[in-house]
Homo-oligomer: A and B are copies of this chain.
Amino acid sequence: MKLQVEQKLASKKINPTAMRILVLELLLQQNSAISLSDIEKGLETADRITIYRTLKTFEQNGLIHSIEDGTGTPKYALCVEDCSTHEHYDMHVHFYCNSCEETFCLPDHKIPDISLPTGFSPAEMNLIVKGICENCAQ
């Protein structure tokens, strides 16, 4: 297991330190995007700032992407595809559940083309759908 985690780090040219392995392992366990505070709670030992910088490093190297789901606090989730460092704009839909307050990546649901007024040139897009997730629907 740990070997696989280290390989994942190495493939993104990230030095596999103990802290980074812990954070990545925690991220791999999630099925929704989590915040810095969530990670801090999940890892009793670690310093908040170190996690913060770890996430920055992961993001810059295209291992994770950050999601602004409208709560103000960014969430983080693993990149599914091979997103390179420069263009890992998370062009898929994110879903925020108003009930459980979790944020889900929907990587199979791409954002459709949007027509813009003339003169506006798009670079990235961010679509948050809010509602009730499948777990809370019952």
State the A residues within 8 Å of B (CB).
68, 70, 72, 93, 95, 98, 106, 108-109, 111-112, 114-135, 137
Contact = CB atoms under 8 A, between A and B. Distances in A.
Given A109-B115, A112-B112, A115-B109, A124 B120 contact: no
A120 B134 contact: yes
A119 B106 contact: no
Contacts of A130: 122-126
A126 B131 CA distance: 12
10 contacts: A68-B70, A95-B116, A117-B134, A120-B131, A120-B134, A121-B131, A122-B129, A125-B127, A126-B130, A127-B127
Nearest to A135: B119
Contacts of A93: 114, 116
Given A68-B68, A114-B109, A115-B109, A132 B126 contact: no
A70 B108 CA distance: 22
A111 B127 CA distance: 9
B106 A116 contact: yes
A123 to B, nearest CB: 4
